[in-house]
Amino acid sequence: MAEKIQKIIDEISNLTVLELNELVKLLEDKFGVQAVAFQVPTQAKSEAPVEEGSANVDIILADAGSQKLNVIKIIREINPNLSLKEAKDIVDNPPQKIAEKVERKKAEEWLKKFQEAGAKVELK
């Protein structure tokens, strides 16, 4: 069976983009399914994809980057109850959960702020 699958993969890898697009459409029609585009995470996006239907997400600091002071400021902006030392401990010891059950739109706004500060953040 593995040899059969490998042959199919070899054939698909020789297709042009237009031929591959046509193949996908034919497979969708044949099996009554819809293909979903896969996005490779980049630094401009969170490291882990978030389900579209999620109303609330957790914000997790994966890497503080080089501008740690700016990241600490953002963390304290999200959670003003944290002391400076607590925020610094989060930045110095990633991965750390910054906030739980944050509205998706608000979490994406925070994500942009972290990325501007050079930090890597995940939304889960």
Helix (H) or strand (E) holding 62: strand 56-63
User: pLDDT tens for residues 73-119?
Assistant: 888 888 888 788 888 888 898 888 888 888 888 888 888 888 888 88
Mean pLDDT to the nearest integer, 15-31: 84
Alpha helix locations (H) across the chain? 2-13, 17-31, 68-78, 84-92, 104-116
Summarize pLDDT for 30-82 with one digit per residue, the tens: 888 876 654 444 444 444 454 555 578 888 889 888 888 888 888 888 888 87
For 74-86, write each residue's pLDDT tens digit: 888 888 887 888 8
Q: Write down the pTM of the prediction.
A: 0.54
Helix (H, G, I), strand (E, B) or coil at 93: coil
